[in-house]
Amino acid sequence: MSEDFYAYVRGRTDVVPEGHSEAGMKVYRHLVHLGASQAIEAQHPEVRQQLGEDAWRALIEDFVRQSEWSSHFYGDLPDEFLAYLDRMRA
């Protein structure tokens, strides 16, 4: 799929890529956000509690926008999140 497809999924743009439906693109963006949120919360539940819902959502959105996951293993995603936090602090 083209780069503009994934740019929308990641939230880097709100321009719906040519040939695609907005509803379908929103589903993919939602599913990726949900997957990241659930994986990270499972291992770091305190972060969501401390941040509150709005800040948590914004943090996951930013993580998805910038992420560079390469592992095939969904369970490694929280490690990628920690690497992301390190990059943010740098």
User: What is the contact surface with another protein in residues (CB under 8 A)?
Assistant: 1, 3, 5-6, 9-10, 19-21, 23-28, 30-32, 35-36, 39, 64, 67-74, 77
CB of residue 16 vs another protein: minimum separation in angstroms? 9
Residue 41 Cβ, how far from another protein at the closest point, in Å?
15
What is the C-alpha separation between 47 and 77, in angstroms, rounded?
Answer: 15
Q: Residue 66 Cβ, how far from another protein at the closest point, in Å?
A: 10
DSSP-derived 3-state class of residue 2: coil
Q: How far apart are CA 48 and CA 5, in angstroms?
A: 29
Consecutive H or E run containing 53: helix 53-66
